Amino acid sequence: MPIATVDVPRLDGTRCLIMGGGGFLGINLANALARQGAVVRAFGRAPADRRALDERVHWSSGYFEDQAAITEAARGQEIVFHLLSSSVPGSPGQKPVSDLETNVLGTLRFLDICNDAAVRRVVFASSGGTVYGPADRHPIAETAPTHPISAYGVGKLAIEKYLALYHHLYGLEYLALRIANAYGPLQSALKRQGVVAAMLSHALAGKPLEIWGTGEIVRDFIHIDDVVSAFLWAATYDGPHRVMNVGSGAGLSINQVASDIEAITGTAGRSRIYRAGRAADVPVNILEISLITRETPWRPRRAWLDGLRSTAEWLAAKKHAPLM
C-alpha cells in the first residue's frame, strides 16, 4: 500500500536524482517521489525489478565509478538522494580498504560533481544500526558516541563528516538519515541486507530459519514506507539539524522476529539453525527518534506485525506460495 499523500510533502516539479535507484530503498523512494509530483531520475545498475519502478521515473544505467555518467545524471538536479553502497553491514569478510576506495572516495568525487552542478541538497542514507557501535544507553540518540565496529559503519560515518565539511566549505546543504533495520516489499533475501526478508523467504520455502548467534541480539525494525516518508520530509526540511535517526524507537530480539514470522506463515514448531555470531553485530541497537519527530511531521506509522504480515503477503504472491 503506497504512503498516504497526506503524510508527506508535495514536491511538484522538483528535480530529484536517486543514486542507487535500483535497489530496495531506491525503487520505493523513486515511486513515492513520482507520486508526489517530483521529476525523478534514478541512477544505478539494472533495477532489481524494473517492473516495480514507476513509469514516470527516468532510469540511467551506470556505475558509481563512471564519472562521466554521474556528471550527466547530476546535471540540472536540485535534490540528490545518495543511497549507493558497495557493501552491507553483515558482510562475512570485511574489506576496509575496498570500502574506503569505493564508498568513501567515490562519494567525495560525487560531492565534487554535485557542487559543480549546483545541486541544492544531498540527502544521505546513513546507518543507525552501525555508526554507533556498542552503546551504553538505549534508545540511542544522535548525540551518543560513535564507535562503529564494521567497515560499513566507519564508511557511513566518514561520509557524514565529509558532508559536513562540504557544507562548511561550499555551502552544500545536506541531511544524513541514520536508518534502523528497514524491511518491506522489494527487499532481496539474497543480498545479506535484511533478516526479515531472509527469514520470510526461508519460511515460505519450507526451510529452517537461520539465525546468527543466540538470537538474543536486539534490533530496531522500521517498515520501508516509514523510511521513504522520512526521506520525503528530509527533502524539504530547513531546520538546523544535519543528522537524524529514523527508526521505530522500539527493539525486538531476533528470536522474537523468528517467532512472529513462524506465526504469520504457519510454520511454528519447525527447527531453526543457529550459526556462529558475527564480529560486526552489536548486542542491542534501538534508535531514539524524538529529534526527527520534533523537527518534522514524520512519525513511524506501520506497526510491526501489520508491516510484517503485508511483507509476507507480498513475498508469498511473488513466489506464488500461499500464506497460511
Taking only the tens place, the pLDDT of each residue in 273-294 is 999 999 989 999 999 999 999 9
Residue 206 predicted with pLDDT over 60: yes
Q: Is 284 helix (H, G, I), strand (E, B) or coil?
A: strand
All residues at 6 or more sequence positions from 62 whose CB lies less than 8 Å from its CB, including other chains: 43, 44, 45, 69, 70, 73
DSSP state of 98: H
- Measured between alpha carbons, how far is residue 36 from residues 39, 123, 133 in Å? 9, 17, 36
Q: What's residue 191's pLDDT?
A: 61
Task: With CA atoms as reference, report the closest residue to 313 among 209, 190, 204.
Answer: 204
pLDDT tens across 119-152, in order? Answer: 999 999 999 999 999 999 999 999 999 999 999 9
Give catalytic residues, as residue numbers: 152
Question: What are the grid coordinates assigned to 178, written together?
Answer: 541514520
| pLDDT band (50, 70, 90) for residue 86 | confident
Integer Cα distance of 286 and 217 in angstroms: 11
Q: What are phi and psi of 37, to 5 degrees?
A: 90, 0
pLDDT at 58: 97
Name 272's Cβ contacts closer than 8 Å, sequence gap at least 6: 208, 209, 210, 211, 215, 258
Which 8-state DSSP code applies to residue 131?
Answer: S
166 or 6, which is more confident: 166
Write out the three cell numbers for 2.
Answer: 503506497
Average pLDDT over residues 179-194: 86
Is 208 a residue whose pLDDT tops 90? yes
| pLDDT score for 319 | 75
Mean pLDDT of the chain: 93
Mean pLDDT of 215-227: 98
Q: Are 18 and 74 in contact (CB under 8 A)?
A: no
